[in-house]
Amino acid sequence: MVIRDRVPPLQPAVVAASRRHTGAATAFHDAERRRRVIDAAEAIFLVEGYRATTMDEVARRAGMSKKTLYQVFPTKEVLFEALLADRMKILHLPIEDTNQPIETALADLLCRTAEFLLGARQIAMARLMISEYHRSPALTEALARAIPASGRISVARWLTLQCSRGNLTLDDPERAAGMLIGMVAGDWLFGSLLGKIQPPTKAEIATRVERAIGIFLRGIQESAVPPPRRSDPGTLPR
């Protein structure tokens, strides 16, 4: 008779830890697969355009089957929207709660935003969106959801925070954020889209940001000063 050692059952804590490890590994695998698809799609979209890009091409470039690709992104429209969201999420810059002067903190935020918007990658993506805008209703809807995140969010949140602390007085922080970004990057962005100018250097952006903030803060101060009272035209000065 062969006597076999009895294998003791796994303890609940060990089972739970194993499941957590498996879940974490699966999540990491899914995130990596999603990253590969988005990077592959961007490379093809920027060369072929939105309409000419096929999911077959994306799957081949990402090194996976078409079936696996569709498990991650069921349609090309969903994939393109995910690409837009991924590339624009950097604009959701964290608001650092520091004791820096208003001018310094705002300058740092605007410089980072402008450097991103004027980068070669973002200019290429903007050209793609513009070229395809009127040809695809699905793409138009994706743009409508993604564009509100393009630049104003972090600046508007920072301005709103300063207003809540009494450091600034603004009727519409989001509109003010759009004005600031327009002053800093508007003409550069337009020229870059047309291919008429070279991207500005960090030093040039910093200089423009400093001037824009000066104009912005002076405008706020002047609007906060009540206008002088007019004398009654029916009375004579003494």
Q: Which of 93, 82, 88 is nearest to 39 (CA)?
A: 82
Tell me: pLDDT of 231 over 60: no
Shared domain for 195 and 92, answered yes or no, is yes
**Predicted pLDDT at 131:** 77
**Predicted pLDDT at 7:** 42
pLDDT bin (cut points 50, 70, 90) of residue 23 is very low
CA distance 217 to 211: 10
For the chain, first and last CA: distance in Å?
127
The answer to whether residue 238 sits within a structural domain is no
pLDDT in tens, 50-98: 889 999 999 999 999 999 999 999 999 899 888 888 877 766 666 665 6
**Predicted pLDDT at 15:** 47
C-beta separation of 118 from 208 below 8 A: no
**Predicted pLDDT at 97:** 59
Shared domain for 58 and 128, answered yes or no, is no
Shared domain for 61 and 135, answered yes or no, is no
Q: Out of 37-46, 80-89, 127-136, 139-148, pick the least confident.
A: 139-148
Instruction: Return the CATH number at 17.
Output: 1.10.10.60
Q: Can you give the residue range of the structural domain that contains 112?
A: 87-223
Tell me: pLDDT of 40 over 90: yes
CA atoms within 13 A on the CB side of 183: 19
The answer to whether residue 49 sits within a structural domain is yes
pLDDT bin (cut points 50, 70, 90) of residue 28 is very low
Domain boundary pick from 74, 97, 122: 74
Tell me: pLDDT of 135 over 50: yes
- Count up the domains in the chain and report the number: 2
pTM exceeds 0.85, yes or no: no
Q: Out of 34-43, 130-139, 169-178, pick the least confident.
A: 130-139
CA distance 3 to 20: 35
Contacts of 23 by beta carbon, 8 Å cutoff, 6+ apart: none
CA distance 115 to 214: 19
The answer to whether residue 61 sits within a structural domain is yes
The answer to whether residue 81 sits within a structural domain is no
Q: Which of 18, 185, 9, 20 is nearest to 91 (CA)?
A: 185
Residue, of 228 and 19, whose pLDDT is higher: 228
C-beta separation of 45 from 83 below 8 A: yes
Sign of CA dihedral 105, 106, 110, 113: positive
The answer to whether residue 30 sits within a structural domain is yes
CA distance 22 to 26: 6
**Predicted pLDDT at 100:** 82
Kindly report the backbone phi and psi dihedral angles of residue 107, in degrees, each rounded to the nearest multiple of 5, phi listed first.
-65, -40
Furthest-apart CA pair in the chain: how many Å? 127
Shared domain for 214 and 105, answered yes or no, is yes
Tokens of 26: 């699966």
Residue type, 87: R
Tell me: pLDDT of 233 over 60: no
Residue type, 227: P
- Provide the 10 A C-beta neighbour count for residue 36: 17
**Predicted pLDDT at 22:** 42
Shared domain for 26 and 138, answered yes or no, is no
Residue, of 187 and 227, whose pLDDT is higher: 187
**Predicted pLDDT at 134:** 74
Kindly report the backbone phi and psi dihedral angles of residue 135, in degrees, each rounded to the nearest multiple of 5, phi listed first.
-100, -15
State the Rg of the chain over Cα: 27
